[in-house]
Amino acid sequence: MSTMQAIEISRPGAADVLRLCERKRPVPGPGEVLIKVGAAGINRPDVLQRMGLYRAPPDASDLPGLEVAGTLVEGDVGDSGLKIGDRVCALVHGGGYAEYCCAPASNCLPTPQGWTDVEAAALPETCFTVWSNVFERGRLGPGETLLVQGGSSGIGVTAIQIAHALGHRVFATAGSAEKVQACEALGAERAINYREADFAEVVRTATDGRGVDVILDIIGGDYVAREIGCLADDGRLVIIGVLGGAAAQVPLAQILMRRLTLTGSTLRPRPVSYKAQIAAALRERVWPLIETGRIKPVVHQTFPLTQAADAHRLMESSAHIGKIVLEL
């Protein structure tokens, strides 16, 4: 068939602007493969794009969706080690909410043995984000500690599991007793209900006043000053979201005196070659942990493609623990 069903953003707005449509089936270019999509992950950037607050790059599909899992059906696999017919999950530049999606072969990873497409679709965006920010930009090293803000989010559950599996002490914040329990079950030494306790004070106490070496922050805003206060000397604060506000007061003297690093990044605009390097690192360092069961899928709920609006509403409610996935 030359056409496919997809979900498009009819206009910027609330979740009900997502609508089912018919589009031409995409054609893979050089170095790209075509994936018959079995499932697609929902991510916060999808919601922001739908609202008109995060424009898709000029070279990206206007359809939402940054991660998929399914079967390679055609294209140029290059030296990826994959072949047509393989089950894969992939980080994509857009277009994931559809029956077919193109992806750079270098940004595809084999679906872990025994995992469904739904489970595998929960991996790419979170794993690429966590590895590039916690372990590359944040340089979390042997014997160091990590604090994950929003530990029950898709990013959070992945960061907790990877860091714990690699032998790090992990702390996390969450907004309810249920979410706190979930974070600790996944490997957080201590999860802090930020509605009931000061996370900075709890972290300082738990580390005998030293603080943590790396913080992964999706909040920004007034969290930044408090986070700097619970970093260890030479610590690194990595900001990947600004749910709490894009402006912050920063205690510069603390950065100077304690040699702190304040940094951040977004993944989508990075070139395919950079994402390929992350994919290679994941295959070497994280996929073996998945294959042995030390990292497990955390899927909160699935929705059929036609109910993408309901999936977005759940994402915006923040009631979920782990990933929300569309199933085709």
Cα diameter, the chain: 63
- Give Cα separations from 261 to 69, 126, 159, 176, 258 (angstroms): 36, 23, 20, 30, 9
CATH label of the domain that carries residue 193:
3.40.50.720
The band of 116, judged by pLDDT with boundaries at 50, 70 and 90, is very high
Quick check: 284 pLDDT over 80?
yes
Of the candidates 264, 283, 316, which is a domain's last residue? 264
Query: Which of the listed residues 264, 285, 311 is the one where a domain comes to its end?
Result: 264
Do 159 and 42 fall within a single domain?
no
Query: Are 159 and 241 in the same domain?
Result: yes
Structure-token match 């497990």, residue found: 296
> What pLDDT is recorded for position 246?
87
Measured distance between the N- and C-terminal CA atoms of the chain, rounded to whole angstroms:
17
Q: Which domain holds residue 9?
A: 3-123+268-327
pLDDT tens sequence across 213-263: 999 999 999 999 999 999 999 999 999 999 888 899 999 999 999 999 999
The sign of the torsion formed by the CA atoms of 283, 91, 298, 265 equals positive
What value does the mean pLDDT take over residues 40-55? 96
Domain finish residue from 237, 264, 291: 264
Whether residues 100 and 209 share a domain: the answer is: no
> What integer pLDDT is reported at residue 207 of this predicted model?
97
Count of CA atoms in the C-beta half-sphere (13 A) of 191: 23
Give residue 286's pLDDT band: very low, low, confident or very high (50, 70, 90): very high
Q: Are residues 62 and 183 in the same domain?
A: no
Average pLDDT over residues 196-211: 96
Q: What is the CATH number of the domain that holds 320?
A: 3.90.180.10
φ/ψ of residue 151, rounded to 5 = -65, -20
Instruction: Determine the number of helices (DSSP H) and then strands (DSSP E) in the chain.
Output: 11, 15
Confidence of residue 24 (pLDDT cuts 50, 70, 90): very high
One domain, residues 134 and 251: yes
Report the alpha-carbon distance of residue 323 to residue 119 in Å, rounded.
Answer: 9
pLDDT of residue 306: 97
Q: Name which of 315, 310, 302, 313 is nearest 40 in CA terms.
A: 302
Q: Cα–chain-centroid distance for residue 12?
A: 23
141 and 47 housed in the same domain: no
